[in-house]
Structure 1
Amino acid sequence: MPEPLPPALLIGGGGLLFGAGTLAELGRGARERGLRRVLLIGVRAVADVGLLERAEQALGAAGVVHATLLAADGEPTDAAIGELVAAARGGDFEGIVALGGGSVIDTAKVVGLLLGAGGSTLDYVNAPFGRGAAPPRPPLPLIAVPTTAGSGSEVSAVAVLDLVADDVKTAISHPLLRPALAIADPATTVTLPPAPTAAAGLDVLAHALESLTALPYARRTLAPGAPRPAYSGANPYSDALCEQALPLLARGLPRAVRDGGSLDARTDVMLAATLAGLGAAVAGAHAGHACAYGVASRRLTTAGAAGRPVAHGFAAALMLAPLLRRTHASDPARHERAARLLDVDGPAAEAPDHPREPSSELLPARVAALIAAVGAPSGLRELGFDERDVVPMAELALRQERLMAGAPMPLGREQLAAMLAEAL
């Protein structure tokens, strides 16, 4: 019988260009990867601020032929992705360019997967919602240009989507989904309004803290013959990246929300998003994100596609304090170090009649402070949820097996329900 594979990291990735003005290198990046005819997928919001035109000019200047399709607003659904695939068939494309936030990049990943590998979306969606099959052929190469600083999709091997028939938010995860090139240009984010800036930035916070507190990679086991998962657990590589992201985010995000035109602040937040995205792409998020998916899925179930969407970054951030109170015992020193990294102004002087907070509350307090500093909702109740939603959301979260596998301790329905109740 084959022996189980030893603990190891699955670290992969394409190229990365970072810096203000790098959008202009899009065409050269495509040509360097042998792409002469590409499908450019954008969204109306990036067209309205002129970014889509700039991308088309950069492609044209390098002699790259392109066709442009606009993705639907909001998070990708399997139905909307199917419409884009149908529109793109016969285009003889050699690659795809995604210009937009994480939803656009995730859409482009699945479009490229279906055009390159064939099959249906459910063939590749993670179990238990889909078959979780490996692509029989590679997807079309993808160049990802994020116009928000948050999701990290430009450097990850995951595409998140909503399954319309099942009213559930889930994902496709496979190393072949990682983009061939990411172009992270902070200047593309300066027109992003305050609320989506805050939501995207808080998703970065969730990526960094969940990666730092995930089950360590050396404790994860892999059955004989099983492929290595895209997420390996907390490890020295991801720790270094995520720890560097925290002070950048704590310093830059409040300023980017207050003064969207500050390129310095936007650069700090984009760099934090890139670092945390690279770290999370290896370590993986865990139970907090699973609960955020449960929140989003509950909204689909109760309100349908026409319901008010839940900003993923807000939901993920609101799950952090309840989660971190529970993960603290797994590694108190790690949690306290993360709290210090988020406290960019240094510890406030303590009055004699105000004793030091319990160590398990240090990191939740810093998370709450950052949420407040960017004007984000302070609880799920502000997003339209109440006690009746808690258990259904916990049950939906528990089904996110890919994410729950990374939690540093077992968390069942009762524990997840308690976390969601605290997040109200």
Structure 2
Amino acid sequence: MSIRVAPTRAARALSLLRTVQYTHPPSCPCHSNPGHHHHDTPSLIKQARRSLATPIDSSQQKEYAFEMAASSIRFGLGCTKEVGMDLKNMGAKRVMVVTDSTVKKLDAMRQVVQGLEAERIAFEVFDGVRVEPKDSSVKVAIAAAKAHQPDAFLAVGGGSVIDTAKLMNLYTCFPDADFLDFVNAPLGKGLPITRGLKPLIAVPTTAGTGSETTGTAIFDLVSKRAKTGIAHRNLKPTLGICDPLNTRTMPSAVHASSGLDVLCHSLESWTAIPYYERVPRPTNPINRPAYQGANPISDIFSLQALRSTVKYLPRAVKDPDDFEAQHQMLLAATLAGVGFGNAGVHLCHGMSYPISGQNPGYKHPGYDVDGPLIPHGVSVAVTAPAVFKFTGASNPERHLAAVEAFGVDISQVKKESAGEVLSEALAAFLVKLGDQPRGLKALGFGKEHLAGLVEGTIPQARVLMLAPTLETQHLETEREQLTKLFEDAMEY
């Protein structure tokens, strides 16, 4: 799916911008109530007029268009069994199935293997994916893919598996590329992916990352002690098969962590700066980033995902037999994936990468892995109360709309209190969910770690640039703000 909104003449631009503001479904409060929307028409009209003039400094030109890109999605109980037919329809004859040692034993893999064998498609299984992958484990996977030379990929597992499969696909199609060529700047060169890749079908077995919809792949860059990744539309799967039967095997701890990722995906994309405030405007559309800022289409997906997560995540964590809640959380994860996959995330994710990469030794209960582990959902949620208290002033209406999703009466809440009230609602939700570390201190971090966490966050430019109220243009101010945020995230 690709939608481009780009004015060419003044009259067309003004008409289009008015349409964007006023013709969205009334069920979305940010569009039915102009006060809930930060894509105000006058600002857009002024920018559209400026875009028609001769540019003076392209590096300072604000964006004027947004694109929506997402994988094709099939959602339904039992639809995993169709995957063999899908690959045959794509013309695949030599498939690499990507999974991990745990998922390899589950029914989802049994369904996949049966489907491939029924269509007589040759395949090889790579089950060496690491949970929360490191660059070293990704390179091992890439080497396996290059040796096999598949004509299609099939990922069966959580976000770690799907992200690893994306990278295997990329570097098999660009065999001479250096590993850092496509990695997000400034840690890598951030080169665009200039052509399409081989078919990739993603079958998620967790309800969290939304990786089946996005062109993003995340991993630990060990030498920099931070998470980073690659983000480009051409990286997204060809098809995501979302079968709620496949998430029924998740332990309660995995339900919780995965769901917290959905929570932050939706909140961050909902509160990101609007797309038309992002600079610079790309000189070529191939350079338009996957993470563009909030826009009227991503808003619809993000807000619905937030509401569903607040309603169904506690149920999914509490009762492993609550299949309705599990079904709805998989749908929420996919909706949030479409939302943040185009709007982007900001501070919770930017700060989470060094939290995971600089883990002082914490191992989250409920995960069967060797060694320390801070699950991704835990690393993003632990800073959320501090983050949204900080961003509240940027757009009180948006933050109050989020508060409403938590079931809080906002009729008497003043706009200047929006961030604080959302912070309190988030903290109460996390505490009620149970077994969540209440701040960085519970993960083993102390004041002595602050400088390292800040320095590990600053390179996450592609997400920090979307953070409202963060002074990314002034390094010392940004460093001070991030230090204060990490201090505030020590306990809630």
Q: TM-score band (shorter)?
A: over 0.9
Given candidates 421, 435, 439, the residue that maps to 1:362 is 421
Cα distance, 1:14–1:359 mapped onto 2, change above 3 Å:
closer
Match of 2:226 in 1: 168
Cα distance, 1:109–1:356 mapped onto 2, change above 3 Å:
closer
Match of 2:155 in 1: 98
Cα distance, 1:72–1:19 mapped onto 2, change above 3 Å:
same
Give, in angstroms, the shift of residue 5 of structure 1. 7.5
- Partners of 1:300 and 1:410 in 2: how far apart? 27
- Partners of 1:7 and 1:105 in 2: how far apart? 32
Give, in angstroms, the shift of residue 25 of structure 1. 1.6
Which secondary structure does the structure 2 equivalent of 1:153 belong to? coil
Give, in angstroms, the shift of residue 169 of structure 1. 1.1
> Which sections of structure 1, spanning at least 5 residues, go unmatched?
none
Return the TM-score normalized by structure 1: 0.92
RMSD between superposed Cα atoms in Å = 2.6
Give, in angstroms, the shift of residue 306 of structure 1. 7.4
Measured against aligned partners, the alpha-carbon deviations of 1:96-136 in whole angstroms (never above 9, x if no partner) come to 11111101111001010000122132111111111111235
Cα distance, 1:365–1:392 mapped onto 2, change above 3 Å:
same
The 5-angstrom pairing of residues 75-114 of structure 1 reads 75-114=132-171
Given candidates 314, 319, 325, the residue that maps to 2:389 is 325
CA contact (8 A) 1:110 1:121 kept: no
The 5-angstrom pairing of residues 108-187 of structure 1 reads 108-118=165-175, 119-187=177-245
- Partners of 1:175 and 1:244 in 2: how far apart? 23
Measured against aligned partners, the alpha-carbon deviations of 1:160-210 in whole angstroms (never above 9, x if no partner) come to 011233332111111111110011112111111111110110000100000
Match of 2:109 in 1: 52
Given candidates 363, 367, 371, the residue that maps to 2:430 is 371
Work out the percentage of aligned pairs sharing the same amino acid.
Answer: 37
Return the TM-score normalized by structure 2: 0.80
Match of 1:292 in 2: 352
CA contact (8 A) 2:151 2:198 kept: yes
- Partners of 1:330 and 1:348 in 2: how far apart? 18
Equivalent residue letter for 1:235: N
Equivalent residue letter for 1:204: V
1:192 aligns with 2:245: no
Give, in angstroms, the shift of residue 224 of structure 1. 5.3
- Partners of 2:479 and 2:370 in 1: how far apart? 28
CA contact (8 A) 2:152 2:200 kept: yes
Match of 1:385 in 2: 445
Given candidates 261, 269, 273, the residue that maps to 1:203 is 261
- Partners of 1:349 and 1:333 in 2: how far apart? 12
Match of 1:405 in 2: 465
Equivalent residue letter for 2:380: A
1:230 aligns with 2:290: yes
Which secondary structure does the structure 2 equivalent of 1:159 belong to? strand
Which secondary structure does the structure 2 equivalent of 1:124 belong to? coil
CA contact (8 A) 1:217 1:234 kept: yes
Cα distance, 1:272–1:321 mapped onto 2, change above 3 Å:
same
The 5-angstrom pairing of residues 29-48 of structure 1 reads 29-48=86-105
Cα distance, 1:58–1:373 mapped onto 2, change above 3 Å:
farther
Which secondary structure does the structure 2 equivalent of 1:271 belong to? helix
Give, in angstroms, the shift of residue 223 of structure 1. 4.3
Which secondary structure does the structure 2 equivalent of 1:121 belong to? coil
CA contact (8 A) 1:117 1:138 kept: no
Give, in angstroms, the shift of residue 386 of structure 1. 1.5
Cα distance, 1:89–1:348 mapped onto 2, change above 3 Å:
closer
- Partners of 1:86 and 1:247 in 2: how far apart? 42
Query: Rg: which structure is higher?
Result: 2
Cα distance, 1:357–1:163 mapped onto 2, change above 3 Å:
closer
CA contact (8 A) 1:43 1:104 kept: yes
- Partners of 2:107 and 2:282 in 1: how far apart? 51
Give, in angstroms, the shift of residue 362 of structure 1. 2.1
Q: Which stretch of structure 1 is more off in the superposition, 407-416 or 332-341?
A: 407-416
- Partners of 1:12 and 1:391 in 2: how far apart? 37
Cα distance, 1:254–1:184 mapped onto 2, change above 3 Å:
same
Which secondary structure does the structure 2 equivalent of 1:123 belong to? coil
Equivalent residue letter for 1:263: F
Give, in angstroms, the shift of residue 38 of structure 1. 1.1
1:340 aligns with 2:404: yes
Which secondary structure does the structure 2 equivalent of 1:96 belong to? strand
Task: Tell me the matched-pair count.
Answer: 418
- Partners of 2:282 and 2:159 in 1: how far apart? 34
Cα distance, 1:307–1:422 mapped onto 2, change above 3 Å:
farther
Give, in angstroms, the shift of residue 279 of structure 1. 0.2
- Partners of 1:301 and 1:123 in 2: how far apart? 31
> Which sections of structure 2, spanning at least 5 residues, go unmatched?
1-53, 364-368, 472-477
Give, in angstroms, the shift of residue 94 of structure 1. 1.1
